[in-house]
Chains A and B, each alone.
Chain A
Amino acid sequence: MSAQTWVFIGYFFVVFAIGWFSLRATRTEEDYWIAGGNLGWFTGGATMAATHTSAGTFVGTIGVMYTAGWSFAWVLLSIPLSYWFVVAVLAPRFTKQKELTLPAFIEMRYYGKGIRGLAGGIILVATVVYIQAQIVAAGLIAHTVFGIPTTVGMVGFTLILLVYTVVGGMMAVVYTDAFQLVVMSLGALFAVPLALRQVGGLDELLTLAASAHPLVFTWQTMPATLLLTMGLSFFLGGIATPEKLIRLYSMKDMPTIRRGVLFAIIMILSLNLLVFILALTAIVLFPELPTGDLAMPMVATAVLPVTLGAIMLAAITAAMMSTVDSLLIVAGSALSVDIYQNLIDPDVTPARRMWIGRIGILVVGSVPVILLLSGVGEGQLVQFIVLLFTALMAAAFVMPVVGGIVWRRATKEGAAAAMVGGVVATFLWEIFGPASVEPVLSGFLVSAGLFIGVSLLTDPPPNHALEPYFDA
């Protein structure tokens, strides 16, 4: 076996070990879904950063920058803005009453079980879209490293992921996230000086990149409307994607959340900066890649030394796993708690509910790979699948979540209309709208219009729905 194979085996051994120890540490349902709700700032911030820094960053962002140049970097400025909004506006009220899932918050604030089931259903559908992006990237990496067919890589990645998420739950997820963040940081940190050494330093890299790709430092590769709406998508998605919101419940208290989010911002921006430099390196050293998504796998295998290269690829796989496992947890809880218990069997025992969640994780995790094997979603750039998911989440949940904690008049009917209208508008724009504008714009505007309009047209919410989030 090659050194790369040994590194991957060693890496996954560590991940399984974490899953095993996490299983032993999981005693209650709170442990399984929100890691006990008592995480410190390092683990909490690391799991936020690792979830954010998915294949979208290590495969997708570098792929878009390889193709379209540095103008895409502008989009990432929206990340600190959205995290600031979470800490300053959202978290103080959102975490006043801790729940196990985002739909549970929806039920509490919007006083209805049906709307909770609706939120769970939207999460399930959108999760399938997002997991596809990660699985495509994993297949590409497996093909690059082991020379195995992309489809075999996709299936293998999904199996590994499902095993440790089903077994360890959120407890396993947060600790593997912390480990994976260290791996990703090390990989990117060491990769940059080695890459610069190959091309002769930073000045030489900038000159060569401009020579190989004359538009790399211009604004001409993407329409301004696309860049602006991509920024909006990342901003809104950063506020209200369920897998990020649930991490607010996982941390101990508000001071911990503030420190954790600051740590996450620093890590995310630092990793993105390193990724930008590696994208330029790929432009110079591999000018004829068939897809930008191969840029990072090629940097890892051809620029870095063998062991670090394999660790870097393990780090990319780690990034994908961090994102997918978080989403699987959200999807599992949506199925078991928000749909099964809420709508089918209200008297289900916690133990049975946990097992239904595990089955839900298995099902939701398997559907994307089955769709991909059927040819559905194959061949798309990873970053654009990520953007579709972000747009769906933003259109469905930003108004009900943010509006729900800042506007007393928000009603159940308004929230339901916003969720459905936002998702439908996003899908319709994705199919029929111009490609120069991201679908999040139409989704969010429709969602906001329906949220405000329908809320004003319906009866005000009862006091018991407002008490947990508003002062008397």
Chain B
Amino acid sequence: MGLRAGFVVMGLVSAIALVIVPAAAQTNAEVQASVAGQSTVQSARLFADLSPDDGGAEVRIEYVLDVRGTPELQFELLGFGSASADGFWLGEERTGTRIELDPQTGSMRAAAFTLSLADTNEPYRLVAQYWVAEAVQLDGEDFLVRVPVLSIALPPADGVSDLFRAELSLPPEWSVAEGFPTGLAANEEGLYVVSLPVVPSMVSARGRTDGARRLGLPLVIDLLTAAILLTFSFVGWRHLARIAA
């Protein structure tokens, strides 16, 4: 094959690529258009009141939804260890609707609810309340709090960094060393607050009931990581400097 033939073949390959690329772009545009028509979760605000007496948690979660022609909502709740809920109130406990969660695979519980609303561009506000038994586990002075989050099987709205926000009310004498999601910290009112761009399946915290401050595992791992990387950087720098010299 000569030089000319090589160029001809290269031209063919490039031409094919140029045809393919717009075709692929068209497919993507169609996919994105269909995604734009989906219902989404606009925001979710969770409030959990931990009771030190019986180890349970009173949970209230306020959803704002952008509902597009899919009035049936699927609710899901995972049980973590002994921390689980069996049903929830949609709306206020005294006036709302009690909905039972049906057991699914393993610890998953689910329910479906049909909204009676027309297709609208207005955000739809929805309040759910439930009780989590054994949300608190005590081991001496150490505690572990796990609050399963009732989620709606809808994707989150794009680009909202604090779409999910949780507020945990813990006894004032307790101290938290680590939590999930990362960043759980006390605000000025003494509530432990954290936010995320998606709705997690639970919120958890570990700490001490006597208020003692201790290094949590995350901090230990952070320090260890920094030490290893600094050491490696130093060794690498020496090696490269020697080669350059």
Footprint of B on A, CB under 8 Å? 14, 17-18, 21-22, 24-25, 112-118, 121-122, 125, 128, 143-144, 147, 175, 178-179, 182-183, 186, 190, 194, 197-200, 204, 207-208, 210-212, 214, 284-290, 294, 298, 301-309, 311, 343, 371, 374-380, 412-413, 416, 420, 423-424, 427, 430-431
Chain B residues within an 8 Å CB radius of A210: 105-106
- Can you offer 24 A-B residue contacts whose CB atoms are under 8 A? A14-B233, A21-B241, A24-B244, A112-B1, A118-B13, A121-B9, A125-B14, A147-B161, A186-B229, A200-B81, A210-B106, A212-B201, A284-B201, A285-B180, A287-B151, A288-B151, A290-B155, A294-B198, A306-B222, A376-B22, A377-B21, A378-B28, A420-B13, A424-B12
Q: Is the CB of B9 within 8 A of A198?
A: no
Q: Is the CB of B9 within 8 A of A194?
A: no
Q: Does B73 contact A (CB under 8 A)?
A: no
Identity of the chain B residue whose Cβ is nearest the Cβ of A3 in the assembled complex: B222
Identity of the chain A residue whose Cβ is nearest the Cβ of B225 in the assembled complex: A308
Query: A21–B243 Cα gap in the complex (Å)?
Result: 9
Query: A140–B164 Cα gap in the complex (Å)?
Result: 19
Minimum CB–CB distance from A140 to chain B (whole Å) comes to 11
Q: Is the CB of A308 within 8 A of B218?
A: yes
Q: Does B217 contact A (CB under 8 A)?
A: yes
Q: Is the CB of A412 within 8 A of B1?
A: yes
Instruction: Find B3's partner among A197, A343, A379, A416 (CB 8 Å cutoff).
Output: A343
Instruction: Find B225's partner among A121, A190, A420 (CB 8 Å cutoff).
Output: A190
Q: Is the CB of A287 within 8 A of B16?
A: no
Chain B residues within an 8 Å CB radius of A112: 1-2, 6
Q: Does B117 contact A (CB under 8 A)?
A: no
Q: Is the CB of A198 within 8 A of B180?
A: yes
Q: Does B97 contact A (CB under 8 A)?
A: no
Q: Is the CB of B25 within 8 A of A125?
A: no
Query: A16–B151 Cα gap in the complex (Å)?
Result: 44
Q: Is the CB of A17 within 8 A of B107?
A: no
Chain B residues within an 8 Å CB radius of A287: 76, 78, 151, 201
Q: Is the CB of B21 within 8 A of A371?
A: yes
Asked whether A431 and B240 contact (CB < 8 A) given A114-B2, A121-B14, A288-B156, the answer is: no
Chain A residues within an 8 Å CB radius of B200: 285-286, 302
Identity of the chain B residue whose Cβ is nearest the Cβ of A11 in the assembled complex: B229
Asked whether A208 and B221 contact (CB < 8 A) given A14-B233, A121-B14, A430-B20, the answer is: no
Q: Does B91 contact A (CB under 8 A)?
A: no
Q: Is the CB of B5 within 8 A of A114?
A: yes
Q: Is the CB of B236 within 8 A of A18?
A: yes
Q: Is the CB of A208 within 8 A of B80?
A: yes
Digitize B194-229: 1 where CB-to-A-CB distance is under 8 Å, 0 elsewhere: 001111111010000000000001110110111011
Instruction: Find B243's partner among A25, A118, A308 (CB 8 Å cutoff).
Output: A25
Query: A375–B219 Cα gap in the complex (Å)?
Result: 41
Q: Is the CB of B32 within 8 A of A379?
A: yes
Query: A377–B158 Cα gap in the complex (Å)?
Result: 19
Chain B residues within an 8 Å CB radius of A308: 218, 221-222, 225
Query: A260–B84 Cα gap in the complex (Å)?
Result: 50
Q: Is the CB of B198 within 8 A of A298?
A: yes
Chain A residues within an 8 Å CB radius of B9: 118, 121, 416, 420
Minimum CB–CB distance from B29 to chain A (whole Å) comes to 7
Chain B residues within an 8 Å CB radius of A379: 28, 31-32
Instruction: Find A186's partner among B29, B108, B225, B243 (CB 8 Å cutoff).
Output: B225
Asked whether A289 and B183 contact (CB < 8 A) given A186-B229, A208-B80, A431-B23, the answer is: no
Query: A301–B198 Cα gap in the complex (Å)?
Result: 11
Instruction: Tell me which of B32, B153, B181 has the highest count of chain A C-beta atoms within 10 A of its own C-beta.
Output: B181
Q: Is the CB of B6 within 8 A of A376?
A: no
Q: Is the CB of B197 within 8 A of A311?
A: no
Identity of the chain A residue whose Cβ is nearest the Cβ of B2 in the assembled complex: A114
Identity of the chain A residue whose Cβ is nearest the Cβ of B41 in the assembled complex: A288
Footprint of A on B, CB under 8 Å? 1-7, 9-10, 12-14, 16-17, 20-25, 28-29, 31-32, 35, 41, 76, 78, 80-81, 104-108, 151-156, 158-159, 161, 178, 180-183, 196-202, 204, 217-219, 221-222, 224-226, 228-229, 232-233, 236-237, 240-241, 243-244
- Looking at chain A's contact residues, the main secondary structure is helix
Identity of the chain B residue whose Cβ is nearest the Cβ of A420 in the assembled complex: B9
Minimum CB–CB distance from B135 to chain A (whole Å) comes to 14
Q: Is the CB of B218 within 8 A of A194?
A: yes
Q: Is the CB of B16 within 8 A of A427?
A: yes
Query: A186–B108 Cα gap in the complex (Å)?
Result: 33
Chain A residues within an 8 Å CB radius of B6: 112-118, 343, 416
Minimum CB–CB distance from B233 to chain A (whole Å) comes to 6
Chain B residues within an 8 Å CB radius of A211: 78, 104-108
Instruction: Find B221's partner among A114, A194, A294 (CB 8 Å cutoff).
Output: A194
Closest 4 CB pairs of A and B: A114-B6, A211-B106, A305-B218, A121-B10
Minimum CB–CB distance from A398 to chain B (whole Å) comes to 17
Q: Is the CB of A199 within 8 A of B108?
A: no
Q: A125-B14, A289-B156, A343-B7 are in contact. List 17 more A-B contacts (CB 8 A).
A: A114-B5, A117-B10, A144-B197, A179-B236, A200-B81, A211-B107, A288-B155, A288-B199, A305-B219, A308-B218, A343-B6, A375-B28, A377-B28, A378-B32, A413-B1, A424-B12, A427-B16
Q: Is the CB of B237 within 8 A of A21?
A: yes
Instruction: Tell me which of A144, A212, A304, A343 has the highest count of chain B C-beta atoms within 10 A of its own C-beta.
Output: A212
Query: A413–B1 Cα gap in the complex (Å)?
Result: 6
Chain B residues within an 8 Å CB radius of A305: 178, 182, 218-219, 221-222
Query: A306–B222 Cα gap in the complex (Å)?
Result: 8
Instruction: Find B78's partner among A212, A298, A343 (CB 8 Å cutoff).
Output: A212
Minimum CB–CB distance from A213 to chain B (whole Å) comes to 9
Query: A416–B65 Cα gap in the complex (Å)?
Result: 57
Minimum CB–CB distance from B6 to chain A (whole Å) comes to 3
Chain A residues within an 8 Å CB radius of B16: 423-424, 427
Chain A residues within an 8 Å CB radius of B76: 287
Q: Is the CB of A25 within 8 A of B244?
A: yes
Query: A294–B39 Cα gap in the complex (Å)?
Result: 19
Q: Is the CB of B1 within 8 A of A289?
A: no
Query: A39–B91 Cα gap in the complex (Å)?
Result: 67
Q: Is the CB of A375 within 8 A of B236?
A: no
Query: A308–B156 Cα gap in the complex (Å)?
Result: 26
Q: Is the CB of B198 within 8 A of A288?
A: yes
